[in-house]
């Protein structure tokens, strides 16, 4: 079956791949399913992928020949390529993303829901003949180390070789995955078509796609159907579609957690090790925190993952996390030597760049890579670009341009990053971009309060008026576009998972805000590498919560009480946050930790309105947390 086959398009058109059911099991069902998808989509040929280096090179050569990929200068950027997408196919399409649970309430008010039967009928029409003239690739992949206790497998069929190559970077693809499926492992079936069939003799374009797009999830049958886009989040179905939307349904049913979280390993000067998992909405510096270079002497931060974490109680009772991915699909603009030197070192070779600008010497550039742009570029749409165009506001790189690169190339990758058993999580951190109200850091009073913090994450655009609480955008658990179940059920599930953990091993929960501003509108906190100071306070609080005693490094700040109770949580006591050597403006630290009671009362009212959107699915414990917050506010 893994040899290249001739067409199977004459096979029976019976659409049983579309009937809802249990997860597909076993090799027989895998090949049956592939045959059914081929019968529907009518590819010219089928290729079963083995994930080998030879296969990757063959596909890269084919993509260069097709004009999809442009090889970069092998001296400057070895093994690297530039892709320019269709200008209309540059981002996730949330308005065309559907959760098709049997019951609308299981998708909840934050998702687009469609009746499964009606959507299946619609998809049948859309996918009919959609791969004509193309090759259908069958890509068996694992999310997490192959065969690991927290890992899961899937099969993506796709008519896009760009997707095959990218899946090979972002997931583990290969023969061992098919061996698991052959042995009966349940797999998530994921169908992807760019939706651009070719008539006989018709020339292809560099980036085939379709103006009509669908990104569809059937949470009960754990299926994914994606049509019309070649872009990452829409087409690399292991990532947002499987590892977050489908996985959040699996996790709810099976007692684990699928989260939009980075994971880092932190080592203190005295050699104590901690693991943090942190959720932030887009554009709040998640990849920067994942690759943090601490400014505090003696501290080390190592990267486990930058986007997704799967967490499950381990045999030792700790909450263990894996990064289910094998690569980074990072936003390029704003990633530079000053903001994230580790990312810059990661993509110095063997990287696929999409929608960035091309330099005259065959390398890449984007806004923020270097302080000054080169004197001439070819922009992401293939047009000439000079700094004068930049001064007119024309970007050389698309704001959502990306790098796709293996995690193993990251200089700060932890040696445990691919441990199948995961790493034990000590602290969970929720963040957002808030000009006002939310302190630099606050520790939750307990698990339920921490879940309340996650459920009420909000972020505001930098342009938003300061302190205008009415302009908050709620992004609970930073999962708003990624939660495949009713968001309130996600909160209830967190409460259940926490209750099942041994109290002595349960992670402490924190909220952070790097983006608080002073009265003059400037940021109060320097951020980036200085965030290590906050991380150091967090892990010291973890030690104290566990009775492990203060760390030597915290003792150097000479403070006995390390935390002060406020209505929203425990914040660093005076002197407890190490700000030695930092040039903070007068009063900045007080302003960073201030909890203004009147605006928090107003925010509590907004939280109630937000909860009311979910009606009686909101867990009573979270309503009680809101009451308790109001009580503390007085
Ligand atoms: C994506 O769009 O594929 C993606 C990874 O999204 P985000 O960066 O918003 O998490
Ligand atoms: Na069609
Ligand atoms: Mn993300």
> Three-state SS for 481?
coil
Work out the average pLDDT over 34-44: 98
Cβ of residue 233 lying under 6 Å from some atom of ligand 1: yes
User: Of 426, 444, 429, 422, nearest to 506 (Cα)?
Assistant: 426
Work out the average pLDDT over 562-584: 96
Spacing, Cα 295 to ligand 1 middle (Å)? 28
- What is the pLDDT, as a whole number, of residue 251? 98
Q: Which H/E stretch holds residue 490?
A: helix 487-500
User: Of 478, 460, 487, 476, nearest to 599 (Cα)?
Assistant: 460
- Of the CA atoms within 13 Å of residue 213, those in its CB half-sphere come to 21
Q: What strands lie across the sheet with 563-566, from one edge to the other?
A: 300-305, 261-267, 273-279, 427-431, 508-512, 441-443, 569-572, 563-566
Q: In this structure, are residues 217 and 286 in contact, taking their beta carbons and an 8 Å threshold?
A: no
Work out the average pLDDT over 506-520: 95
Cα–Cα distances in angstroms (integers) from residue 108 to residues 239, 280, 361, in the given order? 21, 21, 51
Q: In this structure, are residues 194 and 229 in contact, taking their beta carbons and an 8 Å threshold?
A: yes
pLDDT digits (tens, 9 = 90+) for 124-138: 999 999 999 999 999
Cβ atoms < 10 Å from Cβ of 112 = 14
Cα–Cα distances in angstroms (integers) from residue 336 to residues 352, 368, 458, in the given order? 17, 6, 27
User: Of 496, 510, 632, nearest to 572 (Cα)?
Assistant: 510
pLDDT digits (tens, 9 = 90+) for 135-187: 999 999 999 999 999 999 999 999 999 999 999 999 999 999 999 999 889 99
Q: Which H/E stretch holds residue 309?
A: strand 309-313
Cβ of residue 432 lying under 6 Å from some atom of ligand 1: no
Q: What is the ipTM of this complex?
A: 0.90
- What is the pLDDT, as a whole number, of residue 218? 97
Burial code (b: 16+ CB inside 10 Å, e: under 16) for 416-426 equals ebbeebbbbbb
User: Any long-range contacts for 62-69 (C-beta under 8 Å, 24+ apart)?
Assistant: 62/161, 63/161, 63/162, 63/165, 66/161, 66/204, 66/206, 67/206, 68/161, 68/162, 68/206, 68/207, 69/162, 69/352
**Dihedral over Cα of 227, 379, 350, 73: its sign:** positive
| Tokens read off for 73 | 């200068």
606: left (phi over 0), alpha (psi -120 to 50) or beta: alpha
- What is the pLDDT, as a whole number, of residue 14? 30
- What is the pLDDT, as a whole number, of residue 561? 87
**Among 338-342, 403-407, 546-550, the least confident range:** 546-550
Q: Which H/E stretch holds residue 134?
A: none
The pLDDT-based confidence of 500 (bands split at 50, 70, 90) is: very high
Q: In this structure, are residues 8 and 47 in contact, taking their beta carbons and an 8 Å threshold?
A: no
pLDDT digits (tens, 9 = 90+) for 217-266: 999 999 999 999 999 999 999 999 999 999 999 999 999 999 999 999 99
The pLDDT-based confidence of 551 (bands split at 50, 70, 90) is: low
Instruction: Give the E-state strand segments of 464-598 in sequence order.
Output: 473-474, 508-512, 563-566, 569-572
Best mutation site among 282, 327, 459 for ligand 1 pocket (most ligand atoms within 8 Å of CB): 282
User: What residues are designated binding site for substrate?
Assistant: 92, 231-233, 282, 400-402
User: Of 51, 72, 30, nearest to 365 (Cα)?
Assistant: 72
Q: In this structure, are residues 500 and 406 in contact, taking their beta carbons and an 8 Å threshold?
A: no
Work out the average pLDDT over 336-342: 94
Ligand nearest to the CA of 290: 3
User: What residues are designated binding site for Mn(2+)?
Assistant: 240, 260, 307
- What is the pLDDT, as a whole number, of residue 409? 98
| Tokens read off for 36 | 């059914």
- What is the pLDDT, as a whole number, of residue 553? 58
Work out the average pLDDT over 14-34: 61
Ligand nearest to the CA of 124: 2
pLDDT digits (tens, 9 = 90+) for 416-431: 999 999 999 999 999 9
- What is the pLDDT, as a whole number, of residue 465? 41
pLDDT digits (tens, 9 = 90+) for 449-487: 999 999 999 987 543 344 455 468 899 999 999 999 999
Spacing, Cα 190 to ligand 2 middle (Å)? 18
User: Any long-range contacts for 271-274 (C-beta under 8 Å, 24+ apart)?
Assistant: 272/539, 272/543, 272/551, 274/426, 274/427, 274/539, 274/542
* CA 436, chain centre distance (Å): 26
User: Of 222, 218, 198, 292, nearest to 514 (Cα)?
Assistant: 292
Enumerate the β-bridge partners of residue 305: 263
| Tokens read off for 90 | 């540059």
- What is the pLDDT, as a whole number, of residue 463? 39
Higher model confidence: residue 337 or residue 549? 337
- What is the pLDDT, as a whole number, of residue 549? 67
- β-pairing, 327-331 vs 97-99, is unpaired
- What is the pLDDT, as a whole number, of residue 559? 52
Q: In this structure, are residues 438 and 431 in contact, taking their beta carbons and an 8 Å threshold?
A: no
- What is the pLDDT, as a whole number, of residue 20? 36
As a whole number of angstroms, the distance between CA 71 and CA 243 comes to 30
User: Of 239, 243, 279, 245, nearest to 459 (Cα)?
Assistant: 279
Cβ of residue 232 lying under 6 Å from some atom of ligand 1: yes
Residues with catalytic roles? 284
| Tokens read off for 318 | 């700790």
Protein residue with its CA nearest to atom 5 in ligand 1: 233
Examine the pLDDT at 545 and tell me if it is beyond 80: yes
Cβ atoms < 10 Å from Cβ of 586 = 7
pLDDT digits (tens, 9 = 90+) for 357-382: 999 999 999 999 999 999 999 999 99
Listed residues: CB within 5 A of ion ligand 2: 128
Instruction: State the chain's mean pLDDT as an integer.
Output: 93
Q: In this structure, are residues 355 and 401 in contact, taking their beta carbons and an 8 Å threshold?
A: yes
Ligand nearest to the CA of 231: 1
**What is the percentage of the chain residues whose pLDDT exceeds 70?**
92
Contacts of 278 (CB under 8 A, 6+ apart): 261, 262, 263, 264, 286, 289, 428, 429, 430, 431, 512
| Tokens read off for 263 | 């994971």
The pLDDT-based confidence of 292 (bands split at 50, 70, 90) is: very high
Examine the pLDDT at 6 and tell me if it is beyond 70: no
> What is the length of the chain?
634
- Look-up of token digits 């992670």: 507
**Among 10-19, 29-38, 574-583, 622-631, the least confident range:** 10-19
User: What residues are designated binding site?
Assistant: 92, 231-233, 240, 260, 282-288, 307, 400-402, 433, 528-531
Residue 387, classified by CB atoms within 10 Å of its CB into exposed (0-12), middle (13-18) or buried (19+), is: middle
Work out the average pLDDT over 388-400: 97
Q: In whole angstroms, how large is the CA radius of gyration of the chain?
A: 25
Best mutation site among 329, 335, 400, 433 for ligand 1 pocket (most ligand atoms within 8 Å of CB): 329
Contacts of 124 (CB under 8 A, 6+ apart): 15, 18, 40
| Tokens read off for 319 | 């909450």
């Amino acid at each position: 079956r893994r040899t290249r086959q001739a067409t199977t398009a004459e096979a029976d058109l019976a659409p049983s791949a579309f009937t809802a059911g249990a997860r597909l099991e076993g090799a027989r069902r895998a090949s049956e399913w592939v045959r059914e998808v081929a019968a529907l989509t009518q590819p010219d040929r089928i290729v079963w992928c083995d994930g080998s280096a030879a296969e990757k090179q063959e596909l890269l050569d084919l993509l260069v020949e097709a004009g999809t990929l442009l090889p970069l200068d092998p001296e400057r950027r070895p093994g690297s390529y530039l892709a320019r997408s269709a200008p209309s196919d540059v981002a996730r399409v949330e308005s065309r993303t559907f959760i098709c649970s049997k019951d609308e309430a299981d998708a909840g008010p934050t998702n687009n829901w469609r009746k499964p039967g009606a959507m299946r009928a619609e998809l049948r029409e859309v996918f009919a003949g959609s791969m004509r003239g193309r090759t259908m690739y069958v890509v068996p992949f694992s999310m997490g180390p192959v065969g690991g206790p927290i890992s899961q497998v899937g099969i993506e069929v796709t008519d896009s070789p760009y997707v095959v190559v990218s899946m090979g970077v972002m997931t583990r693809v290969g023969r061992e995955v098919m061996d698991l499926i052959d042995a009966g492992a349940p797999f998530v079936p994921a169908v992807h078509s760019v939706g651009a069939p070719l008539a006989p003799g018709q020339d292809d374009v560099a980036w085939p796609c379709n103006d009509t797009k669908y990104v569809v999830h059937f949470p009960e049958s754990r299926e994914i159907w994606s049509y019309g886009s070649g872009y990452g989040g829409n087409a690399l179905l292991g990532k947002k579609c499987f590892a977050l939307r489908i996985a959040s349904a699996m996790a709810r049913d099976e007692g684990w957690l699928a989260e939009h979280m980075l994971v880092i390993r932190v080592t203190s000067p005295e050699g104590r090790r901690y693991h943090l998992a942190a959720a932030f909405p887009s554009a709040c510096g998640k990849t920067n925190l994942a690759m943090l270079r601490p400014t505090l002497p003696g501290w080390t931060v190592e990267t486990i993952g930058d986007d997704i974490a799967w967490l499950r109680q381990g045999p030792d009772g700790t909450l263990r996390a894996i990064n289910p991915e094998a690569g980074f699909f990072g936003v390029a603009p704003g990633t530079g030597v000053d903001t994230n030197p580790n990312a810059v070192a990661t993509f110095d070779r063997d990287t696929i760049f999409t929608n960035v600008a091309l330099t005259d010497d065959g390398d890449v550039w984007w806004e923020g890579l270097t302080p000054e742009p080169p004197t001439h570029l070819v922009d992401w749409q293939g047009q000439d670009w000079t700094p004068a165009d930049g001064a007119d506001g024309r970007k050389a790189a698309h704001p959502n341009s990306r790098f796709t690169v293996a995690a193993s190339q990251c200089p700060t990758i932890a040696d445990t990053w691919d441990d199948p058993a995961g790493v034990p999580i000590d602290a969970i951190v929720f963040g957002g971009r808030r000009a006002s109200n939310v302190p630099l850091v606050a520790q939750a009073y307990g698990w339920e309060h921490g879940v309340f913090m996650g459920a009420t994450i909000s972020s505001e655009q930098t342009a938003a008026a300061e302190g205008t609480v009415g302009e908050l955008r709620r992004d609970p658990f930073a999962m708003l576009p990624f939660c495949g179940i009713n968001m309130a059920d996600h909160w209830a599930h967190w409460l259940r998972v926490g209750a099942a953990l041994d109290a002595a091993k349960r992670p402490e929960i924190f909220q952070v805000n790097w983006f608080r501003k002073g009265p003059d509108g400037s940021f109060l906190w320097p951020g980036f590498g200085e965030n290590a100071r906050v991380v150091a306070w967090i892990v010291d609080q973890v030690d104290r919560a566990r009775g492990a005693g203060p760390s030597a490094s915290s003792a150097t700040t000479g403070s006995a009480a390390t935390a002060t109770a406020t209505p929203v949580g425990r914040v660093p006591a005076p002197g407890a946050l190490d700000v030695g050597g930092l040039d903070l403006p007068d009063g900045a630290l007080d302003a960073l930790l201030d909890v203004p009671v009147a605006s928090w009362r107003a925010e509590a009212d907004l939280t109630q309105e937000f909860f009311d959107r979910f009606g009686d699915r909101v867990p009573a414990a979270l309503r009680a947390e809101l009451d308790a917050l109001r009580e503390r506010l007085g």
